[in-house]
């Protein structure tokens, strides 16, 4: 955290209904077409069908939909 508005905007993700129809998807505040995605055992900020391998449209809606659970500790 460097205290700038740019950093805060880049570090903010907005929850919405999961793209798969279940769960929650997290859209980037600064790049609203990009979502947190798990792909090949890594976490990415991915778009649906971009130029990177992790932007692949294959399984995109499932990979950007998260099952949010209760925290382990109170």
Cα–Cα dist 32/41, whole Å: 23
Q: Closest Cα partner for 58 from 48, 45, 46, 43?
A: 48
Q: Residue 10, exposed/middle/buried by CB under 10 A (0-12, 13-18, 19+)?
A: middle
Residues in the chain: 74
Q: Which domains, ranges and CATH numbers included, belong to the chain?
A: 8-63 (2.80.10.50)
Residue 74 has pLDDT above 80, yes or no: no
Q: How far apart are CA 28 and CA 47, in angstroms?
A: 10
Q: pLDDT grade, residue 46 (50/70/90)? A: very high
Confidence of residue 35 (pLDDT cuts 50, 70, 90): very high
User: Cα separation of 71 and 28, whole Å?
Assistant: 23
Mean pLDDT over residues 35-40, rounded? 96
15 pLDDT above the threshold of 90:
yes
State mean pLDDT over 20-25.
97
């Amino acid at each position: 955290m460097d205290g700038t508005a740019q950093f805060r905007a880049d570090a903010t993700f907005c929850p919405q209904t999961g793209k798969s129809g279940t769960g929650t998807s997290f859209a980037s505040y600064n790049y609203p077409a990009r979502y947190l995605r798990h792909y090949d055992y890594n976490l990415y900020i991915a778009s649906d069908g971009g130029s990177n391998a992790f932007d692949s449209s294959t399984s995109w809606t499932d990979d950007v939909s998260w099952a949010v659970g209760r925290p382990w500790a109170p």
